[in-house]
Amino acid sequence: MQKAIIGKKVGMTQIFDEAGHVIPVTVIEAGPCVVTQLKTEENDGYVAVQLGFEDVKESRLSKPEAGHLKKAGVPAKKHLKEFKLDKASEMNLGDEIKADSFAAGDHVDVTGISKGHGYTGVVKRWNAQRTPMSHGGGPVHRHAGSMGSTSTPARIFKGKIGAGHWGVEQVTVQNLDVVKVDAELNMIVVRGAVPGPKGGLVYVKSTTKTIRVAKGEAGTSTNPQKASARMNPQKASARNR
């Protein structure tokens, strides 16, 4: 079943598993979230659910936002996000979604806004190569250099690397596994890093990846055609010795 929740990135730490191995993890303060709107096939042409996260004063909201939440009969929320879930039609306005909707072992996709690094050059932003440092290179060692042809095509193609604002983009990290869930602290702990700074807003949703369960360690093949020449003298490699 698909699941989703809104949360905040608390930060990274490390924990130990039963075997004593170190696991780098990110702690996410997830929920509680409230269902603020239901999208139906009859009215909207698709089925989805809108969740609200983090209480806020009503004076902090615009009149359309405040009216939208009053119509749903839910308290004022700072963040709203829509998710397409399989069982969205079974939810009701005002339903509360907490961190314990997820469980250890679940695989999730985490979406957030990446950290901003300000205005940077091509070397730092795109890992471009600088020019040689000897023989009169001049003060242009970290410049972008030539950007395109002359009369043909007489323009720069889209996607050309250049200096500019680095970061502050929506990034999704897929297929992270949930290591631990604490319902009392509204905490979800996932293995690995997630985008954004500490305190940044993140969206946690069941992964879109296909999870394949390992069938155990690979053993010795019972197929005589795949056995080694030492074990199967009928193989050509053994007969040609």
Closest CA to 29 of 48, 6, 57: 6
- Per-residue pLDDT tens over the stretch 26-84: 999 987 999 998 888 888 888 899 999 988 898 898 999 999 888 888 888 899 999 98
Is residue 177 within 8 A of residue 12, CB to CB? The reply is no
* Percent of residues, the chain, with pLDDT higher than 70: 88
- pLDDT reported for residue 159: 87
Which DSSP letter does residue 53 get? E
Residues in the chain, how many? 241
211 is a domain residue: no
pLDDT band at 189 (very low <50, low <70, confident <90, very high): very high
35 is a domain residue: yes
Q: Which domain holds residue 11?
A: 4-131+163-206
pTM summary value: 0.78
214 is a domain residue: no
What span, in angstroms and rounded, lies between the C-alpha atoms of 97 and 33? 5
H helices then E strands: how many in the chain?
Answer: 4, 12
- Per-residue pLDDT tens over the stretch 69-105: 888 888 888 999 999 888 888 888 888 888 888 888 8
125 is a domain residue: yes
**CATH number of domain containing 72:** 2.40.30.10
192 is a domain residue: yes
Residue 210 has pLDDT above 70, yes or no: yes
pLDDT band at 196 (very low <50, low <70, confident <90, very high): very high
216 is a domain residue: no
What span, in angstroms and rounded, lies between the C-alpha atoms of 62 and 77? 11
10 is a domain residue: yes
- pLDDT reported for residue 8: 94
What span, in angstroms and rounded, lies between the C-alpha atoms of 131 and 157? 22
Task: Give, in order, the Cα–Cα distances in Å from 130 to each of 127, 144, 149, 175.
Answer: 9, 8, 20, 36
* Percent of residues, the chain, with pLDDT higher than 90: 41
143 is a domain residue: no
What span, in angstroms and rounded, lies between the C-alpha atoms of 191 and 106? 11
Task: Tally Cβ neighbours within 10 Å of residue 75.
Answer: 14
Total of domains in the chain: 1
